[in-house]
Structure 1
Amino acid sequence: MKYQVYGDMLSGNCYKIKLLLQWLGIEHEWIHVDVLTRETHTEAFLALNPNAKIPVLVIEDETGKKEVLTESNAILNYLAEGTPYLSDSGLARARVLQWQFFEQYSHEPYIAVARFINKYQCLPKEREEEYYSKQEGGHKALKVMEKQLAAAPFFIGDNPTIADISLYAYTHVAHEGGFDLTPYPHIQAWLKRVEQVPGYVSME
């Protein structure tokens, strides 16, 4: 298989894909897409993803046939199939999905959005109220994570999975959204463990 990834490394959702590809040592072509200049709204990009969002994975088989897959956690599940980063057993796999759904619905809407408003929009006055409203929800998610990581080194036990990738992406830059991780020692220790996984690459 040949892989092309359309994304931006400073986007947590795109960084998830890059991190797993590096962990797995999978060769791929990375095509940078600038969301801030609306490159996701070009005719060529919309032909790949009508939803105008990154990341996008293009999969080409040995016959030249191409398939397109979108949504970061769906891409993670596809790439991790048959690897140590995604269990093939029902309950363990469901627990990975549980944390990925948590990330998308209880974590990302607060921490990632606050980061975007602060880091990329320089906290404009018209979004200040929205920015500060994200803090409570973000800390609620961090408290849930802290409790889980007090019981195990990774989210599904003793070894990293794509659940860890999903949650690491925006958590390790949470400070850019105004979230102080000092009260969360288990999260801080977990971040360091993720960074020790062979193949780790930093967001850049």
Structure 2
Amino acid sequence: MTYTLYGYHASDNCYKIKLLLNQLEIPFHYKEVDIVKGESRTEEFLPQVNPVGCIPVLAISSTATLTESNAILIYLAEDTPFLPKEKFKRAQVFQWLFFEQYKHEPNIATLRFWQKCLNRKKTDKQWKDKMEEKFTNGEEALRIMNDHLMNNAYFVGNSYTIADICLYAYTHKAHEAGFNLNSYPHILQWFKRIEKQDNYVKFE
């Protein structure tokens, strides 16, 4: 059975999965779910596809679906070079996946979504303080990444893994949230290394 990926075109969480599937040369069907229009909250989507009401969702079979972008990455990367078998390196990959979901994505991705998809403005009084907090926290996450990449080509073991894929997704679009990526030269060099990987696909 061919996988089916339920996603939203503007979501980098969905792009993560598309990128890995393409790099693994795994065929899949794609179904657009417009979260802005509430399509992930319909009666058809909620019980049948994902009771949590979010995307991405990977349908593995007619009876098995998997949610949460980084869990999907782990599932797809198992027994491939994208997820190390060695215990410590594997834990390091998980460490960066958790970092992305705890310190990176809630700030950079949220700020981008508010502005790009919901048209929120930093000048709006009710959003100003929230946006400033997200921006400060996002800058801290980018600094941590840039410092790590100062002496490392990739995030784990100097080889390209799903740790890089999960962090690349929203980082390479951080400028759309107002971040000046020119302030993070080691991240920009890392972008170039990722974009030279086999079967790389652009975010579209």
TM-score range, shorter chain: over 0.9
Measured after TM superposition, the shift of residue 121 of structure 1 is 1.9
Structure 2 contact 70–97 (Cα < 8 Å) conserved: yes
1:112 to 84, 109, 125: 109
Structure 2 contact 89–156 (Cα < 8 Å) conserved: yes
One-letter code aligned to 1:55: P
One-letter code aligned to 1:101: F
CA distance in 1, matches of 2:46, 2:201: 29
Q: How does 1:41-56 map to 2 (within 5 A)?
A: 41-47=41-47, 48-56=49-57
What is the match of residue 30 of structure 1? Answer: 30
CA distance in 2, matches of 1:115, 1:96: 25
What is the match of residue 184 of structure 2? Answer: 184
Provide TM-score, normalisation by structure 1: 0.95
Measured after TM superposition, the shift of residue 131 of structure 1 is 1.3
User: Is 1:97 paired with 2:55?
Assistant: no
1:77 to 74, 94, 97: 74
Structure 1 contact 112–170 (Cα < 8 Å) conserved: yes
One-letter code aligned to 2:136: E
Per the alignment, in what secondary structure is the counterpart of residue 66 of structure 1?
A: coil
Structure 2 contact 89–157 (Cα < 8 Å) conserved: no
CA distance in 2, matches of 1:189, 1:66: 42
The worse-fitting range, judged by mean Cα deviation, of 40-49 and 171-180 is 40-49
Measured after TM superposition, the shift of residue 79 of structure 1 is 0.3
Per-residue CA deviation, residues 100-130 of structure 1 (Å, 9 max, x unaligned), is: 0000000011100111111112224232321
Per the alignment, in what secondary structure is the counterpart of residue 43 of structure 1?
A: coil
Structure 1 unaligned spans of 5+: none
One-letter code aligned to 2:53: A
Structure 1 stretches of 4+ with a deviation exceeding 6 A read none
Per-residue CA deviation, residues 41-91 of structure 1 (Å, 9 max, x unaligned), is: 01111022111100001112xxxx531100000000000001100011211
Structure 2 unaligned spans of 5+: none
User: Is 1:6 paired with 2:3?
Assistant: no
Provide TM-score, normalisation by structure 2: 0.95
Per the alignment, in what secondary structure is the counterpart of residue 6 of structure 2?
A: strand
Per the alignment, in what secondary structure is the counterpart of residue 44 of structure 2?
A: helix
Identity of aligned residues (%): 50
Measured after TM superposition, the shift of residue 135 of structure 1 is 1.1
Number of aligned residue pairs: give it: 200
Per-residue CA deviation, residues 116-161 of structure 1 (Å, 9 max, x unaligned), is: 1111122242323211221110010011101111111110132110
What is the match of residue 122 of structure 1? Answer: 119
RMSD of Structure 2 on Structure 1 (CA): 1.1
The worse-fitting range, judged by mean Cα deviation, of 8-17 and 117-126 is 117-126
What is the match of residue 134 of structure 1? Answer: 134
One-letter code aligned to 2:173: V
CA distance in 2, matches of 1:128, 1:37: 25
One-letter code aligned to 1:28: F
